[in-house]
Amino acid sequence: MKVLVVGAGFAGAVYARLLAEAGHSIEVIDRRDHVGGNAADFVDGNGIRRHAYGPHIFHSRLRHVIDWISQFGVFVPYVHRVRALLPSDRFVPLPINLDTVNAVFGTRFETEAEVRAHLADIALPYPDPANAAEYLYSQIGQDLTDLFFRPYTKKMWNLDLEELSSAVVRRIPLRMDRTDTYFADEEIQMMPRDGYSALFAQMFDHPGIKVSLNTSFRKDMVAGADFCFNAMAIDEYYDYCHGELPYRSIRFHHRTQPHAADRGWSVTNFTDDQPLTRETAWHEFPAHVVRETGMQTITAEEPCDYRDNNMERYYPVRTADDRYQAVYNRYKQLAASEVKLRFIGRCGTYQYLDMDQVINQSLIGARKWIDETG
């Protein structure tokens, strides 16, 4: 069959590769001038590999996903560490752990049991949290919530914690010991040695796949295909007939500095109410100093509405009342009537998905479609 895939990010790449390997003829289009979607990277003038749309750290518990993506490039181990910069100019581990608690409260806890007891004492009783504020209060109390999450949430989402879905903050682990890694120990963490863009080039390197960049989707393209998998924003496809689905976007601010000693972490979060949320020191990532120039690149992030950033959609907005999910469900009902088109990926399904989740979802969806079509 002749299949059109809209979007050259992870969802589109997985569908394209699996369908091509099954014998179908695939055309992939993307409105941007590169493959890789928001995971695309490049080497800048300082010889540093920079992720064009913010840091992407591959982490997963799903062995089959890791095995599948590892076909297309060499991965190197990486343990992700984040520090939060407090108003006192002190750096502390994030997610919150034993050392973070000691730094904030001036305590001298040494055991997990002591930290657990302290957090239990300061936690507030919300047995059924209705929003992000209530969930955090029920876990770590008001002081830690207001220090680490309240200003950051307002900057990131333009919402107060009381307006934000608890699902957004439940993703962030809370530690009672001195573990200072961002992701759980049971997750495999790694980075592609030659970058994500090279990884995507290998995924699309198949005689059954044609990739056309700088190419915007038009609805009449579907008529020329036997089927279409579409990763574009579902509300845009339907001309916003049920209203817009909001996204947060990011403006990036880059600076160059002389080579400095490694600090041991790559990302710093800002807990104050300045416009910036975090900054990334790219040289802290493995295989990201591609060419020694004596200079380093640091990238700071300033969240904004996607309409204020050339319609660059990064993060779907999840509110405590799920009002935007209700809008998406109306678009989903429209999509259910499509005979030869299916929406895929983060924008097509209006979900916040990690890279491994997109790959897993796409592997399942592509294999199911192959089985159904014979």
- Give the pLDDT confidence score for residue 332 in this predicted structure: 98
- Give the pLDDT confidence score for residue 184 in this predicted structure: 80
Tens of pLDDT, residue by residue over 317-358, are 999 999 999 999 999 999 999 999 999 999 999 999 999 999
Identify the band that residue 260 occupies on the pLDDT scale cut at 50, 70 and 90.
confident
Provide CB contacts within 8 A for 206, sequence distance 6+.
16, 17, 20, 21, 26
Q: What domains, with CATH codes, occur in the chain?
A: 2-35+204-245+317-373 (3.40.50.720), 40-81+181-194+247-316 (no CATH), 96-170 (1.10.3110)
Q: For 129-133, which contacts have Cβ atoms below 8 Å and span 24 or more sequence positions?
A: 129/166, 130/166, 130/320, 131/161, 131/162, 131/163, 131/164, 131/165, 131/166, 131/320, 132/161, 132/162, 132/164, 132/165, 132/166, 132/168, 132/169, 132/320, 133/160, 133/161, 133/162, 133/164
Identify the band that residue 276 occupies on the pLDDT scale cut at 50, 70 and 90.
very high
With a pLDDT cut of 90, the percent of the chain lying above it is 96
Tens of pLDDT, residue by residue over 226-243, are 999 999 999 999 999 999
Identify the band that residue 171 occupies on the pLDDT scale cut at 50, 70 and 90.
confident
Identify the band that residue 147 occupies on the pLDDT scale cut at 50, 70 and 90.
very high
- Give the pLDDT confidence score for residue 10 in this predicted structure: 98
- Give the pLDDT confidence score for residue 128 in this predicted structure: 93
What are phi and psi for residue 159, nearest 5 degrees?
A: -135, 150
CA distance 272 to 337: 47
Between 84-88, 184-188, 197-201, 292-296, the lowest mean confidence (pLDDT) is in 184-188
Identify the band that residue 315 occupies on the pLDDT scale cut at 50, 70 and 90.
very high
Taking the CB of residue 13, how many other CB atoms lie within 10 A of it? 31
Helix axes 98-105, 132-148, angle to 10 degrees: 60
Q: Is the pTM of this model over 0.85?
A: yes
Nearest CA-CA partner of 281 in 292, 269, 291, 271: 269
- Give the pLDDT confidence score for residue 186 in this predicted structure: 80
Identify the band that residue 211 occupies on the pLDDT scale cut at 50, 70 and 90.
very high
Mean of the per-residue pLDDT values for the chain?
96
Identify the band that residue 149 occupies on the pLDDT scale cut at 50, 70 and 90.
very high
Burial 307-341 (b: 16+ CB within 10 A, else e): eebeebbbbbbbbbeeebbebbeebeeebeeeeeb
